[in-house]
């Protein structure tokens, strides 16, 4: 996991009493996710996921929870956040903001099929189009400013070859023109862990806590970077084609998006390489802490730099 904040029955029962969800039966930490503390919670009325926000303030939550509510109402597969008796979508628990959402059936995807890729491409495009009516706005927290600041903090701890790759990529990215790209609400973290399938059915996109307003094509690059590569991080043509075709059937690409596609793939690999390097160099405490290996993101970055990406359809 990471369970950063251990929850007890004594703390959870009064929290649940603030919702219309029945009484506590059982709960258990979920050992996934590296940002927040998550628990499965079973009550007499149903099954829920409880999230304690470890790094977010209350004023950021209305964006995430309001967005999930907005998308759920429009049929984009997302968990529905529950409103407390006072009408709010979050409540404090152990001094942290916390939310309760319906638990979606299904499991993540270890090794995607082309068909699953198509389902994810379609859902992502629907998020981008149906998100247009959402009136919240949140700037990206993993933008180029964050890349620079993180690179600064990491440099003293990196190997020479890591520093060279990083500096060269940052210089390249600084020269990319992103001024005419369609943007709006994006998920920003649509890895295979964050799409649940119940059998063949995409039951929900989860873990919305990087969502922000940014370039659609970057969001797509994050997904392709994870869903459409093989175990050596080389492109899988059938997956790549099906994800992008299903996406484009809902929202066709612009010419400006075609121009930056390869640069956006590099940007997505760079972003996750940086955050995993950071977590390796500066691990956080916790009862159980999950550290993800940075190497696979570096390998992807190297492939996209070598021109191995497939084009947009």
Footprint on this chain of its own copies (rule: CB under 8 A): 1, 6-9, 12, 25-29, 31-32, 39-40, 42, 107-111, 113, 116, 192-193, 197-200, 231, 287-293
Give the SS3 label for residue 184.
strand
Give the SS3 label for residue 205.
strand
Q: Smaller CB distance to its own copies: residue 31 or 73?
A: 31
Q: Smaller CB distance to its own copies: residue 102 or 193?
A: 193
Question: At closest approach, how far in Å is the CB of 63 from its own copies?
Answer: 27
- CA distance between the termini of the chain: 38
Question: At closest approach, how far in Å is the CB of 2 from its own copies?
Answer: 9
Q: Smaller CB distance to its own copies: residue 29 or 235?
A: 29
Residue 207 burial by Cβ neighbours in a 10 Å radius (0-12, 13-18, 19+): buried
* Distance (Å, whole) CA 62 – CA 56: 11
- For residue 61, give the nearest of 40, 28, 36, 43 by alpha carbon: 36
- For residue 140, give the nearest of 71, 215, 217 by alpha carbon: 215
Question: At closest approach, how far in Å is the CB of 176 from its own copies?
Answer: 31
Question: At closest approach, how far in Å is the CB of 223 from its own copies?
Answer: 17
Q: Smaller CB distance to its own copies: residue 108 or 133?
A: 108
Question: At closest approach, how far in Å is the CB of 1 from its own copies?
Answer: 7
Q: Which two tokens stand for residue 222?
A: 């994050």
Q: Smaller CB distance to its own copies: residue 15 or 197?
A: 197
Range 87-93, long-range pairs (CB < 8 A, 24+ positions):
89/61, 89/62, 89/65, 90/58, 90/61, 90/65, 91/15, 91/18, 91/19, 93/7, 93/11, 93/12, 93/15, 93/50, 93/52
Whether the Cβ atoms of residue 247 and residue 220 lie closer than 8 Å to each other: yes
Question: At closest approach, how far in Å is the CB of 236 from its own copies?
Answer: 11
Question: At closest approach, how far in Å is the CB of 172 from its own copies?
Answer: 28
Q: Smaller CB distance to its own copies: residue 186 or 246?
A: 246
Q: Smaller CB distance to its own copies: residue 29 or 184?
A: 29
- For residue 313, give the nearest of 249, 247, 244 by alpha carbon: 244
């Amino acid at each position: 996991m990471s369970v950063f904040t251990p929850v007890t029955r004594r703390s959870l029962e009064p929290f649940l009493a603030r919702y219309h969800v029945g009484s506590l039966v059982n709960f258990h930490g979920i050992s996934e996710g590296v940002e927040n503390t998550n628990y499965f919670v079973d009550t007499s009325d149903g099954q829920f996921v409880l999230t304690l926000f470890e790094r977010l303030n209350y004023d950021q939550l209305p964006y995430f929870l309001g967005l999930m509510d907005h998308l759920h109402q429009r049929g984009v597969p997302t968990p529905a956040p529950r409103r407390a008796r006072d009408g709010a979508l979050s409540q404090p628990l152990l001094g942290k903001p916390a939310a309760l959402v319906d638990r979606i059936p299904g499991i993540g995807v270890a090794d995607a099929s082309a068909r699953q890729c198509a389902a994810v491409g379609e859902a992502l495009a629907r998020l981008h189009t149906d998100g247009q009516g959402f009136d919240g706005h949140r700037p990206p927290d993993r933008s180029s400013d964050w890349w620079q600041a993180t690179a600064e903090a990491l440099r003293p701890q990196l190997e020479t070859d890591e520093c060279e790759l990083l500096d060269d990529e940052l210089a390249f990215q600084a020269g990319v023109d992103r001024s005419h790209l369609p943007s709006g609400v994006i998920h920003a973290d649509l890895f295979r862990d964050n799409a649940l399938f119940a059998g063949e059915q995409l039951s929900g996109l989860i873990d919305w806590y990087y969502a922000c307003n940014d370039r659609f094509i970057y969001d797509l690059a994050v997904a392709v970077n994870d869903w459409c590569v093989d175990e050596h991080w080389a492109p899988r043509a059938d997956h790549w084609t099906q994800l992008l075709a299903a996406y484009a059937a809902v929202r066709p690409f612009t010419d400006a998006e075609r121009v930056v596609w390869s640069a956006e793939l590099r940007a997505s690999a760079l972003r996750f390489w940086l955050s995993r390097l950071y977590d390796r160099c500066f691990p956080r405490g916790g009862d159980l802490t999950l550290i993800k290996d940075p190497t696979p993101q570096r390998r992807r970055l190297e492939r996209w730099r070598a021109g191995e990406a497939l084009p947009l359809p």
